[in-house]
A and B are shown apart, each in its own frame.
Chain A
């Protein structure tokens, strides 16, 4: 089996899983959902680390990689914190006071 074929299977299944999961999210939480998926997409940091820290990395790779790690870290840290801050505000009537 080709390497990309395996990847496409994984992509297909994850995409359908994503549809099923997101469909169940209440519209109430669509904004925090977006900041959460945003934070999740900063998983690109994995690629950035591989590029920056690679044993044969050139200066060019290191510079762009450095920017990429910084950008994804801002996203990851900020994204999770904002999501949590937003969710903390959602209270039921009985929870108030």
Chain B
């Protein structure tokens, strides 16, 4: 009887997962999607517990209690600014689970044929995603330097390690039962994961995080093949395609290919162009001047970047938004797809500060509006507004879609100093006649603009 029930539970769970992703397409239905996902998960767990092979419950229940006891406080206490790190560490946990399950299956069942291939893929992706996500986490949490670490012959070393890991995997097939093969396989997979992320830094993080998300999903799907479990295949495939499509969107937003992101195009660029920052005059302005310009503006477009997150300036920015809106200024936020450290990072940051989401506009939509706006205010963004991407075919970022702030009537840029951005190239925007450089910390400068606007009285 029980064995008739659990496939129905699985079927419902798969349907709920599909609905969960469908409902994510709009902010108005997204929370319903989360609920659907939660119910799906409960159905899957209860269904599995009912299976006749599962006879011992106490270890499972204990593990679930421990997991919940760790997961709940983690979810409630984690500051929203730590979202990229949390995503990375969650991927590490997920991948570890998949890798360990694969390992048990491998040793307990002595599989052959197709199941062995599926298990090998599951373990390879599981182990490499585990360490890769851990390194990504360490970089985002700044336990490791966030800068890309590059050395000569890096790609060759990486390819050799990957080939060695796959070779070890194939030995499972050729000479089963050789004791040293498994540790070598697991070790090489984990080493490859580390090596893969070491050269990745800064602006490439969103792509890599999305790609690791995809690997974690594919690993779960491979587990589904090994266990002949269709729910796992479906959920893993949904997850895998989701991560992949996000990674593709990120690559497109930088006009770069996958191989270019993964095998360190930018690291090489930084060295070859050897950044010559010329001493050219720029116009700077005080908070007082900025306030009087903003006061007479009718429309303002704010361009947030990772610097906003670093300076934690989102709440001050909300105050600026409020005071300008009260004065009848139309304020919108232009979001570049790769701004921040993970897909959609800026939106979450602004939403956290209570900025309405209908004021956040995607790049394609807002670009035509810059020509009609009075002020474009750039906070903590650099490469994504660099006109060299359009104008200079020799630039390392040539062809990258940018937010065309150079078309605005006045451009204001809050920046600590004249340092170049992640791509290590100078920004023509800073030297334009209509550009005002606002030197200072994003948070305190925004605060002083708000203060100055306050003293102007109701306009």
CA distance A32 to B29 in the complex (A): 13
Chain A residues with CB below 8 A from B59, complex form: 52-53, 62, 65-66, 69
Indicate if the CB atoms of B241 and A19 lie closer than 8 Å: yes
**Residue-wise interface mask of B (345-376) relative to A, using a CB-CB cutoff of 8 A (1 in contact, 0 not):** 10110011010111110100000000000000
From residue 224 to 283 of chain B, which have CB atoms closer than 8 A to chain A? 224-225, 227-243, 245-246, 249
CA distance A53 to B213 in the complex (A): 28
Give chain B nearest CB distance to A83 CB in angstroms.
5
- Partner among A11, A71, A81, A95 whose Cβ is within 8 Å of the Cβ of B93: A71
A27 to B: closest C-beta gap in Å: 6
Interface of A (DSSP majority class): helix
Q: Does B53 make an interface contact (CB < 8 A)?
A: yes
A25 engages B354 (CB within 8 Å): no
Query: Looking at the complex, which of B13-21, B161-169, B428-436 is the stretch in contact with chain A?
Result: B13-21
B101 adjacent to chain A (CB < 8 Å) = yes
Give complex CA distance A65, B56 in Å: 12
A12 to B34, CA, bound (A): 25
CB-CB under 8 A from B22, the residues of chain A are 21, 24
A86 to chain B, nearest CB (A): 6
CB nearest to A33 among chain B residues: B24
Report the interface size for chain A: residues with CB under 8 A from the other chain.
85
- Complex Cα distance A17/B422, Å? 36
Q: Which residues of A lie under 8 Å from residue B216 when comparing CB positions?
A: 38, 41
Given contacts A28-B357, A52-B63, contact A78 B343 (CB under 8 A): no
The residues in A between 25 and 49 inclusive whose CB is less than 8 angstroms from any CB of B are: 25-49
Contacting pair B233 A80 (CB below 8 A): no
Whole-angstrom distance from the CB of B344 to the nearest CB of chain A? 3
Inter-chain contact B231/A51, CB cutoff 8 Å? no
Q: Is the CB of A22 within 8 A of B241?
A: yes
Residues of A within 8 A of B223 (CB): 44, 47
Q: Does B337 contact A (CB under 8 A)?
A: yes
Distance to closest chain A CB from B79 (angstroms) = 11
Tell me which residues across on chain B come within 8 A of A83, comparing CB atoms: 34, 37
The answer to whether A86 and B101 have CB atoms under 8 Å apart is no
Contact of B351 among A2, A4, A75, A89 (CB under 8 A): A89
Residues of B within 8 A of A87 (CB): 27, 30-31, 34
Most buried by B among A14, A41, A54, A68: A41
Which residues in window 51-87 of B have CB below 8 A to A?
51, 53-57, 59-60, 62-64, 66-68, 70-72, 74-76, 78, 80, 83, 86-87
B48 touches A50 (CB 8 A): yes
Known: A38-B213, A55-B53, A72-B93. A80 touches B41 (CB 8 A): yes
| Interface CB pairs A-B, < 8 A, 15 | A17-B238, A21-B242, A22-B245, A27-B249, A29-B347, A42-B41, A44-B101, A47-B97, A49-B49, A54-B55, A64-B104, A67-B97, A69-B59, A75-B71, A80-B41
Binding site for B on A (CB under 8 A): 2-4, 7, 10-11, 14-19, 21-58, 60-62, 64-93, 95-96
B interface residues (Cβ-Cβ under 8 A, vs A): 13, 17-18, 20-22, 24-27, 30-31, 33-34, 37-38, 40-41, 44-45, 48-49, 51, 53-57, 59-60, 62-64, 66-68, 70-72, 74-76, 78, 80, 83, 86-87, 90-91, 93-94, 96-98, 100-101, 103-105, 107-108, 114, 118, 209-210, 213, 216-217, 219-221, 223-225, 227-243, 245-246, 249, 335, 337, 342-345, 347-348, 351-352, 354, 356-360, 362
